[in-house]
Amino acid sequence: MEITAQMVKELREKTGLGMMDCKKALTESKGDMEKAVEYLRKTGALKAAKRGGRATSEGRIASYIHMTGKIGVLLELNCESDFVAKTEDFAELAKDLCMQVAAAAPLWVSAEDVPDDVIAKEKEIYMSQAQQAGKPDKMLEKIAEGKLKKFYSDVCLLNQAFVKETDKTIEQVIQEKIGKLGENITVGRFVRFQVGQTS
């Protein structure tokens, strides 16, 4: 059964989980909404998501300088308590995220942070490309949406494939740590410096 964007959206609204988790759950449950929720509960993703609404006012600033000294990253990683902020697991996650930013150069934390005018411009380009390739008009929107997902996986930290385990997204890596540490964890912000790069 084909898992549609509408089905993923519905499950996201119901559970508050990320797109990738919802799509995987729907695929595993062959499109059955109730079984998908059950799957998410069994895997612990839903438990982690319930913590997702809790305030994250503690945390740490992590830094990473690439061996050559040409790339540097500062990243704010937040959690709920000072206790978790001081754990080795949290420090390790912060370091991994800094290395991710250094290696993959995301521009935003999540797809929600991408400005509307950037999304509109990208969509316009994708639809124009599809039209020039002779694709039917009724398919243009769907093609553009598919290409936007790829765009997000390139430029949004949470949507990127984790450089250490490429079968996972950064969002999934964070969800796993939430499940393990028992607190909500969010990326506050990051900045990436590269020698010679002006913007």
Q: How many CB atoms lie within 10 A of CB 30?
A: 10
pLDDT digits (tens, 9 = 90+) for 92-126: 999 999 999 999 999 999 998 999 999 989 988 98
pTM of the model: 0.69
Question: pLDDT, tens digit, for every residue of 152-191?
Answer: 999 999 999 999 999 999 999 999 999 888 888 999 999 9
Confidence at residue 165, expressed as pLDDT on a 0 to 100 scale: 92
Percentage of the chain surpassing pLDDT 90? 47
Q: Where do we find the tokens 């997902």?
A: 149
89 pLDDT higher than 70: yes
d(CA 108, CA 119): 13
Please give the average per-residue pLDDT across 7-26, as a whole number: 76
Question: Is the pLDDT at 151 greater than 90, yes or no?
Answer: yes
Euclidean distance between CA atoms 61 and 42, whole angstroms: 33
Which of 68, 12, 62 is CA-nearest to residue 37? Answer: 12
Assigned token pair, 36: 């998908």
The pLDDT of residue 194 is above 80: yes
Sorted by where each starts, the structural domains of the chain and their CATH numbers stand as: 5-43 (1.10.8.10), 52-110+156-194 (3.30.479.20), 115-154 (1.10.286.20)
Q: Is there a contact between 33 and 7 (Cβ–Cβ < 8 Å)?
A: yes
